[in-house]
């Protein structure tokens, strides 16, 4: 029988959503589809409540949660213009 940990994804994803008010929300998850569904139903982050619909404009895979958290923090420190450059590649 599989253990609880075998059901968890070990891959972490840093993502940026563009909200309907044209702001960006940056977060991390190990299940991007489920996390976006939570945001869309108002059960995600407080910031995103009332700002749907969202467009996923950026995602980046990370090997560990620690790396994802550090990357999320780095992205949040960027100016809007720098985030737009990251998004456009």
Domain boundaries, the chain: 8-88
Q: Which residues of 52-72 are buried (b: 16+ CB within 10 A; e: fewer)?
A: eebeeebeeebeeeeebeebb
Model confidence at 7: pLDDT above 80: no
CB 48 within 8 A of CB 56: no
Q: Tokens standing for 38? A: 């939570």
Looking at 2.60.40.10, 3.40.1440.10, 3.40.50.880, 2.60.200.20, the CATH number of the domain 8-88 comes to: 3.40.1440.10
The mean pLDDT of 11-34, rounded to a whole number, is 95
Q: Tokens standing for 20? A: 């309907």
Q: Sorting pLDDT into bands at 50, 70 and 90, what band is 67? A: very high
Flag whether the pTM goes above 0.95.
Answer: no
Q: Sorting pLDDT into bands at 50, 70 and 90, what band is 89? A: confident
């Amino acid at each position: 029988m599989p253990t609880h940990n075998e059901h968890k994804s070990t891959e972490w994803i840093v993502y940026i959503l563009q909200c309907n008010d044209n702001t960006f929300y940056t977060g991390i998850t190990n299940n991007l589809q489920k996390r976006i569904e939570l945001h869309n139903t108002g059960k995600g982050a407080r910031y995103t409540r009332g700002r749907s619909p969202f467009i996923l404009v950026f995602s980046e895979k990370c090997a560990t949660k620690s790396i994802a958290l550090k990357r999320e923090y780095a992205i949040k420190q960027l100016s809007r213009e720098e985030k737009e450059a990251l998004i456009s590649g």
